[in-house]
């Protein structure tokens, strides 16, 4: 089964980090790191090669290229991230899958809105390069995302109550 192979692969690298963090945090870092790299790579490819730095006309609205790249990369990251979090990182969660997906979606929308705002400030107010801005924004979002996923989306209900 693919999830078992992914878990075994990640856990193979865990022993040197055992003193620094719990296994779940290490798995989150590995899965989240891989998903983050995927998102950043996709953002860069979309920004440079697909949108070529030009505005994206939707007919009813025009998106700046960095915003269009952000939204598309976030859609991919949403799907990949949910699967990794549910089946690799937060496997002990006893919440129903649809509840996890709904909560993950809420967290996702919040993180997307926050990322959009941060990216807008960095690029349009500070004048930073879009890719560098997205890298800085990612550091902030990853921290918030871990906390919301651990304590909200995939929390474990106390069944001893």
The reply to whether 160 falls in a domain is no
Asked if pLDDT for residue 160 goes beyond 80, the answer is no
- Cβ contact 36:140 at 8 Å: no
Residue 134 is part of which domain span?
Answer: 2-153
Separation of alpha carbons 142 and 149, rounded Å: 10
> In the structure, what pLDDT confidence band is assigned to residue 42 with cuts at 50, 70 and 90?
very high
Segment 3-36, tens digit of pLDDT: 899 999 999 999 999 999 999 889 999 998 899 8
Segment 97-115, tens digit of pLDDT: 999 999 999 998 898 899 8
Asked if pLDDT for residue 156 goes beyond 80, the answer is no
The reply to whether 30 falls in a domain is yes
Separation of alpha carbons 28 and 84, rounded Å: 9
Residue 21 is predicted with a pLDDT of 92
The reply to whether 159 falls in a domain is no
Asked if pLDDT for residue 92 goes beyond 90, the answer is no
Residue 133 is predicted with a pLDDT of 92
The reply to whether 115 falls in a domain is yes
Separation of alpha carbons 72 and 115, rounded Å: 13
Total count of domains within the chain: 1
Residue 108 is predicted with a pLDDT of 86
The reply to whether 45 falls in a domain is yes
The reply to whether 38 falls in a domain is yes
The reply to whether 64 falls in a domain is yes
- Cβ contact 120:64 at 8 Å: no
What CA–CA distances, in Å, run from 160 to 33, 91, 92, 157? 34, 19, 15, 9
Residue 44 is predicted with a pLDDT of 93
Segment 70-87, tens digit of pLDDT: 889 989 999 999 999 999
Predicted TM-score of the model (pTM): 0.78
DSSP annotation of 17? G
Mean pLDDT of 137-149: 86
Asked if pLDDT for residue 161 goes beyond 60, the answer is no
The reply to whether 133 falls in a domain is yes
**Going by C-beta distance under 8 Å and a sequence separation of 6 or more, which residues neighbour residue 50?**
69
């Amino acid at each position: 089964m693919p999830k078992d192979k992914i878990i075994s692969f990640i856990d193979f690298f865990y022993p040197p980090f055992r003193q620094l963090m719990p296994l779940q945090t290490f798995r989150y870092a590995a899965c989240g790191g891989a998903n983050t790299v995927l998102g950043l790579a996709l953002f860069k490819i979309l920004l440079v090669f697909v949108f070529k730095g030009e505005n994206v006309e939707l007919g009813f609205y025009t998106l700046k290229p960095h915003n269009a790249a952000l939204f598309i990369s976030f859609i991919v990251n949403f799907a990949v991230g949910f699967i990794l979090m549910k089946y690799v990182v937060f496997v002990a969660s006893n919440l129903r899958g649809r509840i996890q997906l709904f909560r993950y979606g809420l967290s996702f929308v919040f993180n997307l809105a926050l990322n959009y705002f941060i990216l807008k400030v960095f690029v349009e107010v500070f004048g930073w390069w879009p890719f560098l801005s997205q890298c800085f924004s990612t550091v902030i979002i990853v921290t918030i995302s871990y906390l919301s996923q651990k304590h909200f989306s995939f929390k474990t209900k106390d069944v001893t109550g």
